[in-house]
Structure 1
Amino acid sequence: MSVKSHYDNHLAAFYAWMTGNFETKQKEQEAYFVSKHIAPFANQAAIDLGAGHGLQTVSLANLGYTVYAVDFNQHLLSELNARTKGRPVRTVLGNIANSSQYSMEAELIVCMGDTLTHLDSPEQVSVLIREWYNMLLHKGKLVLSFRDLTQALENEERFIPVKADDDRIHTCFLEYFPGFVRVFDMLLEKQSGQWIQKVSSYQKLRLGVEQVKMMLTAAGFFVHDHEVISRMHYLVAIKRNE
């Protein structure tokens, strides 16, 4: 199943529940941006790639950006729209792999929440990083976050409990292959007193953080900051002087 089909037919329906309390998570993202001195300085345009239900979009709008939120799932964009009423946000239903769908001059581009690993290949990631570089204004910033999946988990470690309550249990199972990981999202949901299992899978790239840094440098970026938060790598890259 493609990443888009996985979200359309399975994950999007419980994505907001899976990620946890929106206000708490959103404030964490906003605090991260503030700590890295992410603030408007030119045309105020920010592009949020793989925006989902709006954690980064709301945070950037709160900081004064006009945000163009790009995602391929209408359900998630509808949730985002409900959360961003009255804020300077425009949604774009599109695939981040097709940059022509959102190409514009921006001072900030973010691609967070492991979205980068949803792309088809390292070569595609490299091409997109170069295209994002060209969209950015002088001294514009690119913020990425993703999991480095190059180190394979083994045996029972591949079963990852994500979230559970009285009515839902979400577990991930990881199957490793050269270059990618097959991720199985297993949801047990109580319906009319019975537990119903729903399973869907998709693949994620095994991108190494040093590999991504090399892509950024080759495109012309300066990697300004690298931090690991909850096993997720966060990178802030700045467009070099031309």
Structure 2
Amino acid sequence: MNEVKSHYHHHLGYFYSWMVGDFEIKSEEQKAFFQRNNIIPRYAKSAVDLGCGHGIQSVALARLGFNVTAIDFNKTLLNELNLKSIQGIHTIEDNLIDFDLHLRQAPELIVCMGDTLTHLGSQTEVITLLTKVREKLSAGGKLVLSFRDLSSPLIGNQRFLPVKSDENRIHTCFLEYFQDHVQVHDLLHERVDSQWKQKVSSYPKLILTSYLLNAFLNDTGLEVIHEEVINRMIHLIAMKK
């Protein structure tokens, strides 16, 4: 997690919101996903967003009526979320795996989306997180996960992925495959005073599959009630048994 945190602090956090694109469009897409899957406030109206970033899911949930505890380790992205001044969102700067230290009541919903789950350092950490989620969720509470399955290695030039570009920035990823993780190299070319400057940093992403997550969820007492793939991201909804 320290390597991931450093990557965001020194590199990716600087241009993350630009990379993601139009905030309102993305947040409305998330809101529609939640509504389509009957993720709406019921009793406690308490939700937790793990690895909230600049708040795409947090804002969507707040607009649906949830009181959201939004947790992330990156101060820059949390500041962007705070500047939106959305009622019903409380931000906390911490590692997502320590979310349980900040809860005042049992939430009815916990989300960990946008590939955040792959930022954990091992499958053991994933199981630890899911165990904490199971312990902290209220009866009948739900967990929503999304992640990218990186288990099928790209080869050769396929490993260079154009992400986004405009007249002043070009963002490219290079993927380096290992047994249990993929090292993601973020290359940013940025025009500064009419000259192009290159900045490079990398971080590991854990290799996870739908099969693994379904097994982990079942073993920790969370029943998968929905699964779908959206834009090559696996989405799972599980309920506390």
Q: TM-score normalised to the size of structure 1?
A: 0.97
2:100/2:136 contact within 8 Å kept: no
> Which residue of structure 2 aligns with residue 96 of structure 1?
96
Pair 101,27 (structure 1): closer, same or farther in 2 beyond 3 Å: same
Counterparts of 1:51-66 in structure 2, within 5 Å, are 51-66=52-67
2:100/2:132 contact within 8 Å kept: no
Q: 1:209 Cα shift?
A: 1.2
The 3-state SS of whatever aligns with 1:97 is helix
Over aligned residue pairs, what C-alpha RMSD do you find? 1.0
Q: 2:194 and 2:154 mapped to 1: Cα distance?
A: 35
Runs of 4+ in 1 over 4 A off after TM superposition: none
1:173/1:184 contact within 8 Å kept: yes
Q: 2:116 and 2:69 mapped to 1: Cα distance?
A: 16
User: Aligned letter for 1:218?
Assistant: D
User: Aligned letter for 2:101?
Assistant: Q
> Which residue of structure 2 aligns with residue 50 of structure 1?
51
User: Aligned letter for 2:172?
Assistant: T
Q: 1:221 Cα shift?
A: 1.1
Partner deviation per Cα, 1:107-129 (whole Å, 9 max, x = no partner): 00000000000001001101110
Q: 1:5 Cα shift?
A: 0.3
Q: 1:105 Cα shift?
A: 1.0
1:87 lines up with 2:119 in the alignment: no
Q: 1:49 and 1:13 mapped to 2: Cα distance?
A: 20
Q: 1:86 Cα shift?
A: 4.4
Q: 1:160 and 1:138 mapped to 2: Cα distance?
A: 42
> Which residue of structure 2 aligns with residue 126 of structure 1?
127
User: Aligned letter for 2:88?
Assistant: P
Q: 1:100 and 1:66 mapped to 2: Cα distance?
A: 16
Partner deviation per Cα, 1:40-78 (whole Å, 9 max, x = no partner): 112111000000001000000000100000000010000
Q: 2:97 and 2:141 mapped to 1: Cα distance?
A: 20
1:218 lines up with 2:224 in the alignment: no
Q: 1:60 and 1:224 mapped to 2: Cα distance?
A: 20
User: Aligned letter for 1:114?
Assistant: D
Counterparts of 1:4-153 in structure 2, within 5 Å, are 4-83=5-84, 85-103=85-103, 104-153=105-154
Q: 1:97 Cα shift?
A: 1.9
Q: 1:86 and 1:73 mapped to 2: Cα distance?
A: 19
Partner deviation per Cα, 1:99-148 (whole Å, 9 max, x = no partner): 34334410000000000000010011011101101110111000000001
2:160/2:175 contact within 8 Å kept: yes
The 3-state SS of whatever aligns with 1:10 is helix
1:70/1:102 contact within 8 Å kept: no
Which residues of structure 2 form unaligned runs of 5+? none
Pair 86,228 (structure 1): closer, same or farther in 2 beyond 3 Å: closer
Which residues of structure 1 form unaligned runs of 5+? none
The 3-state SS of whatever aligns with 2:211 is helix
The 3-state SS of whatever aligns with 2:151 is coil
Q: TM-score normalised to the size of structure 2?
A: 0.97
Q: 1:190 Cα shift?
A: 0.2
Q: 1:151 and 1:72 mapped to 2: Cα distance?
A: 29
1:106/1:136 contact within 8 Å kept: yes
